[in-house]
Amino acid sequence: MDVLIVGAGPTGLFLAYVLARLGISVRIIDKTSEPGTTSRALAVQTRTLEFYRQLGIVDEVVRSGLEIDKANLWRARNRVARIEFGRLGDMHTPYPFGLIFPQDEHERFLIDRLKEVHVEVERETELLGFEARDDRVIARTNRWTDEAAFVAGCDGAHSIIRENLGIGFGGGTYDHMFYVADTDASGPLVNRELNVSIDTSDFLAVFPLKAEGRVRLIGTIRADAETAKNLEWEDVSKDILKALQIEVHRVNWFSTYHVHHRVASRFRSGRLFLLGDAAHIHSPVGGQGMNTGLGDAMNLAWKLAAAIRNRAPMRILDTYEPERIRFARRLVATTDQVFQFVTRSGPLAGFVRAHIAPYVLGTAFRLLAVRRFMFRTLSQASIDYRESALSEGRAGKIRGGDRLPWVSDPDNFAPLRSLDWQVHVYGSPSRKLTATCESRGVPLHVFPANDFARDASFLVRPDGYVALADPHQSAAALERYLDSHELRS
């Protein structure tokens, strides 16, 4: 086989699907007997939806989920800030919203897509060990022994691959214990919007689900109950629920957990790679965790396919770790600061959180620039690979490594469905550039001139990021790039 994927969560499933679509043979294994039926991950962010559009699966995902573009911040019964994200993204993406699509439903959706490309998850199959060689990896499970050209560790926070490789997983665990509850509820905050309450001691996030009157609650366990075993809904701090007038009629399922913040010291060792929670785990602030793993999968999939199909040298795989670890470290640091602020104990922290922060945030969120920054950050549309060895040049505001800006009319994201390298020109292409694209087998797509770079050319990677930004449309520069990176059609 070309690639063995260990772990059938969203990251592993998506990696398997993209690789299969690119003609790569995969096996995906998971030690569980069936997909999960509960989940904490809910949000599917804009950048993930853009990736799904490239694969032609986004419409069904959006139909299955609940679009959410409004969030409210509460202190007791007082709403102190309201954010409307939808209008902010209209000029930047086809998907100017977040999507609520619970992880268990998400996994079942991806499993069905995998079946369409004739890939089945091998259940109750556990990786017991492996032997890494120069040209392959010998993998031993409880059911079989086989060899693969590459192995992808998507096996979660307790990754056997990471542990067997001796890769550090630095970070820590927050003191507080949290709960997640899938509930049928009523009240003013059961309004199909995201609602977050911060108070002197309690924290509560209310996530709407698609079914009417159903919400996912994430909050804190009573301090006196944190050390108990087999915690139940009765151990939840109810004061904040009463203050917000949330009446819970039924608890469909309930779970408790500690929140961790860790990043692996390396994301790769030879022919083995770490993705998703095996590589990084962090607080649920902003709904970034699952989406970051899916971004890992998109980044690695096309590079593995290029190396396996001899369309690029093996060294293209060297760019996976630096591109993704940089973002993971920054994300963990950012969410760590926010989460500590939200959950820190003590009278002073509680006073600042309840009486000062809401009004500061309420004022800030009225500023268009702040709301736009928030949208770009949470949507993951602002992730860039400018420091990557694959990124070169600058044309107007666009630099190599940036996500290709979206243009709606005509839609410049439509050609990205090829999942291949391509050149975009916004204006009139030169004869030399046209001839070079034809001779090198690189599709050329021409769009009307616009503000972000008139008559510039952009070599776009299979994942929709700009590799080479050239304000002069230089055919020679394109030739140099393709030759220096040994890219072949």
Structure tokens given for 340: 């500590």
Question: Quick one: what percent of the chain has pLDDT higher than 70?
Answer: 86
**Co-location of 335 and 413 in the same domain:** no
- The whole-number pLDDT of residue 92 equals 84
CA distance 316 to 303: 6
- Could you tell me the pLDDT band of residue 329, with boundaries at 50, 70 and 90? confident
Query: What is the predicted pLDDT for the residue at 84?
Result: 78
Task: Detail the DSSP E strand segments found in 191-340.
Answer: 194-198, 203-208, 214-220, 247-264, 268-269, 272-274, 280-281
Domain of residue 463, residue span: 392-484
CATH number of the domain where residue 166 is located:
3.50.50.60
For residue 320, give the H/E element and its range. Answer: helix 320-343
Residue 417 lies in a domain: yes
Same domain, 10 and 126: yes
Q: Looking at per-residue confidence, does 177 or 482 come out higher? A: 482
Asked if residue 410 has a cis previous peptide bond (ω within 30° of 0), the answer is yes
Distance of CA 288 to the CA centre of its chain: 6
Residue 281 belongs to some domain of the structure:
yes
Same domain, 300 and 430: no
**What pLDDT is attached to residue 201?**
61
152 shares its domain with 13: yes
Specify if 410 maps to a domain: yes
Do 322 and 444 reside in the same domain of the chain? no
Let me know whether 109 and 30 are in one domain.
yes
Task: State the maximum Cα–Cα separation within the chain, in Å, rounded to a whole number.
Answer: 74
Average pLDDT over residues 197-209: 82
Q: Within a domain: residue 253?
A: no
Residue from 2, 9, 1 nearest 296 by CA: 9
Q: What is the mean pLDDT of residues 92-112?
A: 93
Q: Are residues 128 and 275 in the same domain?
A: yes
- Residue 18 in any domain: the answer is yes
Q: Is residue 251 part of a domain?
A: no
Q: Is the confidence at residue 401, as pLDDT, over 90?
A: yes
401 and 337 within one domain = no
Confidence of residue 361 (pLDDT cuts 50, 70, 90): low
User: Does the residue 458 lie in any domain?
Assistant: yes
Is residue 86 predicted with pLDDT exceeding 80? no
Q: Looking at the structure, tell me whether residues 36 and 149 fall in a common domain.
A: yes
Report pTM. Answer: 0.92
Q: Are residues 21 and 151 in the same domain?
A: yes
What does the pLDDT read at residue 355?
53
Q: Is 335 part of any domain?
A: yes
Number of separate domains in the chain? 2
Based on the fold, state whether residues 56 and 144 are members of the same structural domain: yes
Tens of pLDDT, residues 229-266 = 778 898 887 888 998 999 999 999 999 887 778 999 99
Whichever domain contains 418, its CATH number is 3.40.30.120
User: Mean pLDDT, to the nearest integer, of 256-277?
Assistant: 92
